[in-house]
Chain A
């Protein structure tokens, strides 16, 4: 699904943000990505969702070496990836419905199907009454839920989430994690970058830990009895 071999990354002529990253994510796996602020979590995710190119090393996504993949294939690869951006990156002038529908529209899905799927999903994340609301009029938590709906609407093969529960209360955070687990059970490979140690400890999934641009894999921790 995702394979990194000795990957390094730097922005422009700056220092290497990521060094010698080697990892292999099996299809259907679920990983947390942790690390202190500035450790390179967002940069690692950017490499995975094809927003950046590595400065060295080999990245294989869906069995495709992205260094040799022609540019015309990239949209097809990106459509198999769902991304929850840390800053949501919603489009302010579009409604909640249109924001969540965007991945389907760029793919050319008929409007009748879009309406059904998006309405259902937004209702599920608790935004059924806000279909026509524009992001600036919604709270941070509501915006985050639209961002999550946009990321999962296409049932991606790989879901990458950068602090997806950062702006929601604990109850909703748990609901969202359950949604991610449901998607994972349906075959979606998950990588969740988070600072929330409680969340990492509550769910028994392996953890990729970044420190100073280098990666360490930790085994799943058993949830401590309450």
Chain B
């Protein structure tokens, strides 16, 4: 395919020399933007899956030194509710472990006026009426609040959507820049080889025959630059992933950062970027040449 005989010496053009570099840079930026989108989408999806069917009941801190029975009352309501599969109160040890990243392990959580938490698991398809449950909980244990994490998750989803939109705009701008670069290189090639193009035209070459010469050349340069850009992006992503795992190993708090992971099938879309770059270059060159040839008699 790439060994196709060309009547035009396009490979020697100076205009073609910089095109793979531009395409490489574009594919590099697009790969990073796309990888960012995949990672964020995967993290949101994992959080969403993890939080679906879980609820947290938060009760005000008990009066110092005594129990007010609010936890037991709330657990009773929860366990009596159809669709609730599990309801466990956080004990002092588990609460202390949650606060350890911020307060350290030296402080005894029992000495602090901390809200008490109940971890609740529900059957997602059971259709539990959360508003009614919240009312019953508030009646049984004054001040009890039911959190289905939806508000937090919605905020995360909005942020993820914003990241995806920005990444999409980056990819679109990068693609547009690549198209402009190919148009410029193709027009330069047409100007440099105007004499040969005219001879081909006059001996009866169809516009498609002449355009094909530029198409193959643009496809080759686009793929070459695209593969280089992708390899560079893969190296960068591997570097980021390695640095991220080393940070996580050093400090547990860094585990809140999303891991650089996404389903393998989605990473395959990155491998399609060089092919897309080549095809965009090819199509752009074809359209540019066909439009220019229409001006010939």
Which residues of A are interface residues toward B (Cβ below 8 A)? Answer: 49-53, 71, 74-76, 78-79, 81, 83, 89, 91, 93-94, 98, 102-103, 105-107, 150
| B7 and A79 within 8 A (CB) | no
> Which residue of the partner chain, among A76, A78, A98, contacts B202 with CB atoms under 8 Å?
A78
In Å, the complex CA distance between A47 and B200 comes to 17
- Chain B residues with CB under 8 Å of chain A are 5, 7, 9, 12, 195-196, 198-206, 209, 294, 297
Given contacts A51-B297, A94-B7, A106-B209, contact A150 B204 (CB under 8 A): no
Q: Is the CB of A75 within 8 A of B297?
A: no
Residue of A nearest to B193 (CB): A91
Which B residues are CB-close (under 8 A) to A71?
A: 294
Which residues of B are found within 8 Å of A51, using beta-carbon distances? 198, 202, 297
Interface contacts beyond A83-B202, A83-B203, A106-B205: sample of 18 additional A-B pairs, CB < 8 Å, sorted by A? A49-B202, A51-B198, A53-B297, A71-B294, A75-B205, A78-B201, A78-B202, A89-B195, A89-B199, A93-B12, A102-B199, A102-B200, A102-B203, A103-B204, A105-B5, A106-B203, A106-B204, A106-B209
Q: What are 26 A-B contacts defined by CB distance under 8 Å?
A: A49-B202, A50-B297, A51-B198, A51-B202, A51-B297, A52-B297, A71-B294, A74-B297, A75-B204, A75-B206, A78-B202, A79-B203, A79-B204, A81-B204, A89-B195, A89-B198, A91-B196, A93-B12, A102-B199, A102-B200, A103-B204, A105-B5, A106-B203, A106-B204, A106-B205, A107-B204
Report how far A71 CA is from B296 CA in the complex, Å.
Answer: 10
B199 nearest CB neighbor, chain A only: A89
Report A25 CB to chain B, min CB distance, Å: 19
A129 vs chain B, min Cβ distance (A): 23
- The reply to whether A93 and B9 contact each other, CB–CB distance below 8 Å, is yes
Let me know if B205 and A91 touch, CB within 8 A: no
* Assembled-state Cα–Cα distance A107/B200 (Å): 11
Beta-carbon contact of A78 and B204 below 8 Å:
yes
Q: Which residues of A contact B198 (CB under 8 A)?
A: 51, 89
A61: min CB distance to chain B, Å: 13
Contacting residues, chain B, for A50 (C-beta < 8 A): 202, 297
Closest to A78 in B: B204
Measured in the bound complex, the distance between the Cα atoms of B209 and A89 in whole Å is 19
Q: Which residue of A lies closest to B210 (CB)?
A: A106
Measured between beta carbons, the chain A residues less than 8 angstroms from B294 are: 71
Contact residues in A for B209 (Cβ distance below 8 Å): 106
CB distance from A136 to the nearest CB of B (A): 13
Nearest CB of B to A146, in Å: 13
Distance A52 CA – B297 CA, assembled complex (angstroms) = 6
Closest to B11 in A: A93
The residues of A that contact B195 with a CB separation of less than 8 Å are: 89
Q: Nearest CB to that of A71 among chain B residues?
A: B294
Q: How far is the CA of A104 from the CA of B180 in the complex (A)?
A: 35
The CA-CA distance from A103 to B209 in the complex, in Å, is 12
With a cutoff of 8 Å between Cβ atoms, the chain B residues found around residue A105 in the complex are: 5, 7
Q: Which chain B residue has the least Cβ–Cβ distance from A107?
A: B204
CB neighbours (8 Å) of B199 from chain A are 89, 91, 102
